[in-house]
Amino acid sequence: MSRIYTKDLQISYHDKMIVKDMNIEIPDHQITTIIGANGCGKSTLLKAMTRIIPYQVGAVVLDGKEIIKENTKQLAKKLAILPQAPESTGGLTVSELISYGRYPHQKGMGRLTKEDLEVIEWTLEVTGLTSLRYRSIDALSGGQRQRVWIAMALAQETDIIFLDEPTTYLDLAHQLEVLELLQKLNKEQGRTIVMVLHDLNQAARFADHLIAMKDGAVVKAGSCEEVMTPPVLAEVFNIDAMIGTDPITQKPMCLTYRLIKGENKHEKSHNEFSHRIPVSAAR
């Protein structure tokens, strides 16, 4: 069984149900990516699974214990969360911000120990930020800044890291830089990564496990090959998609798509436009 999963989870804002009877398992030591249209409940689910917001019904279970019953510091030793819009850094340097990730491990006066400093040094190295340790966060590029936030999450030394749209506002090169870093952490250190992404091809390229959501419910969960299909994308995004194979990763990729309109709006996509073909055949 997965270390973290939800059971009949329901989340509401005021009188509006956002997530309905959600039952998902997050595979250990894999990259799980959640996809879905805006407003489907992706970010809400992440926040509930990391105890940022409350849920009304059901449970989020981590290591056999419901997270709402877990001590805050103990929970912070098990999972880290990088929100979509991290708070202002207020002129902090790179190493100062990363040091905040050591909070769950500090005792007494909260001074950094030798172990804390060693962990900070390690995170600087693994994220490629050693030369920038004294640089102000405000002076960094978008990609560099995102790496610092990831480094702070790493400094918590958690096995599970949640990220809400970690590539937002980044250009293509910096998006790839961040995603490759997360993949490296997963492959080399066995970190369980859970993230929300908007780009379908990035989701399929870097994920081991995909969860497709619509209107607060799971439409399909499984491997990229199981989820990245014309019928699933039609139901989730209302698009008629042509799926090919990425020549680099051999993962499925969306070559092109069009909106499903009129009489076909609620039908599954099974016409001549919707089928899996190799990239070379599409040229």
pLDDT tens-digit series, residues 155-176:
998 999 999 998 887 889 888 9
User: Kind and range of the H or E element at 218?
Assistant: strand 217-222
| Residue 234 amino acid letter | A
Q: What is the number of other CB atoms lying within 10 angstroms of the CB of residue 259? A: 11
Residues forming a β-bridge with 13: 16
pLDDT digits (tens, 9 = 90+) for 35-68: 999 999 999 999 999 999 999 999 999 999 999 9
How far apart CA 60 and CA 51 sit, in angstroms, is 9
pLDDT score of 200: 96
Average pLDDT over residues 174-194: 92
* Side-chain-facing half-sphere of 128: CA atoms under 13 Å: 12
Is 90 exceeded by the pLDDT of residue 88? Answer: no
Are β-strands 16-22 and 4-13 bridged in parallel, bridged antiparallel, or unpaired? antiparallel
pLDDT score of 282: 42
Ranges of each domain in the chain: 4-228, 229-283
Characterize 266-282 residue by residue with b for buried, 16 or more Cβ atoms within 10 angstroms of its Cβ, and e for exposed: eeebeeeebebeeeeee
pLDDT digits (tens, 9 = 90+) for 118-148: 999 999 998 889 999 999 998 988 888 888 9
- Angle CA 97–54–84, to nearest 5: 40
Cα-based distances in Å from 134 to 114, 125, 191, 204: 19, 14, 27, 36
Identify whether the C-beta of residue 183 lies closer than 8 Å to the C-beta of residue 31: yes
Q: Where are the alpha helices (DSSP H) in the chain?
A: 42-49, 72-76, 94-99, 114-126, 142-155, 172-189, 200-206, 224-227, 230-237, 279-282
Query: Picking from 1-10, 113-122, 260-269, which range would have the lowest pLDDT averaged per residue?
Result: 260-269
Q: Which of 247, 215, 241, 214 is nearest to 228 (CA)?
A: 241
pLDDT digits (tens, 9 = 90+) for 257-275: 999 986 555 454 444 454 5
Q: CATH code for 4-228?
A: 3.40.50.300
Band the pLDDT of 279: cuts 50, 70, 90: low
Cα-based distances in Å from 246 to 21, 135, 202, 255: 34, 38, 11, 9
